[in-house]
Structure 1
């Protein structure tokens, strides 16, 4: 019972800390597909997009981040189990440390579509939508100690089949990262 209470508290806490611009889409939410087809027609429109970081470039006065676009779920988190639709770039006046905003980090950005920008991906030159970011949210990755992942764990029971060496078998998977 305590385990479920802890999970519920963590989920409620995670939802409470989301910025409003990330939690709630703009009133006239423009999809990535619409923007790609007519970037000039949607210039200065508010957007909320997300995905996985592919590149971070820090200039003297701004940072540009290239993101592999994924659709967002109901709370604004990228759904990486669905197919991606392309890439976009967002620009911010903040310094985003490449050690923190690393490649493959999930991110959601709210801001204004200001046009497009030319980028080279491999040897192909592409025109990608450019967003002026007002809110940036980096999604946390939760890691669990696999010995205590909640399946079959009983601190008072040390017999077979649950206890095997240093972890609880067959349910624990050492080295697995949970999301």
Structure 2
């Protein structure tokens, strides 16, 4: 996760996307697939989604928003989130699927 921004009735979380393993865990040592903005219903506590945390989401793409990463222009896909799971260190080490 890169950043969390609470809006009036949704929360937008900027995510750096990674490939997933067979248990749907992100593989942060693999090349990133780019950034996107995850749109979640209601208020999301930023401390539950800290920068650098790994998350797996399900949802659907509903558009693109042009923004920037540093000084570079960037087109962020917008993903409406149906479900989200923030991975703990123990889950990332485990061989059992969790999501």
Residue of 61, 86, 94 corresponding to 1:138: 86
Q: Give the drift of 1:123.
A: 1.4
1:124 corresponds in structure 2 to 72
Q: Give the drift of 1:77.
A: 0.6
Q: Does structure 1 residue 89 correspond to structure 2 residue 89? A: no
Q: Distance in 1 between matches of 2:42 and 2:22?
A: 27
Aligned residues: 92
More strand by share: 2
| Equivalent position SS for 1:99 | helix
| Equivalent position SS for 2:24 | coil
Q: Distance in 2 between matches of 1:73 and 1:119?
A: 29
1:108 corresponds in structure 2 to 56
Q: Distance in 1 between matches of 2:50 and 2:10?
A: 17
Q: Is the radius of gyration larger for structure 1 or structure 2?
A: 1
Q: Distance in 1 between matches of 2:78 and 2:13?
A: 10
Q: Could you list the runs of 5+ residues in structure 1 that have no partner in the other structure?
A: 1-52, 143-177
Q: Distance in 2 between matches of 1:109 and 1:127?
A: 19
Residue of 73, 82, 98 corresponding to 2:46: 98
| Equivalent position SS for 2:15 | strand
Moved over 6 A (4+): none
Q: Distance in 1 between matches of 2:67 and 2:42?
A: 21
Q: Give the drift of 1:94.
A: 2.7
Bigger relative contact order, structure 1 or 2, given CA contacts below 8 A and separation 6+? 2
Q: Could you list the runs of 5+ residues in structure 2 that have no partner in the other structure?
A: 94-99
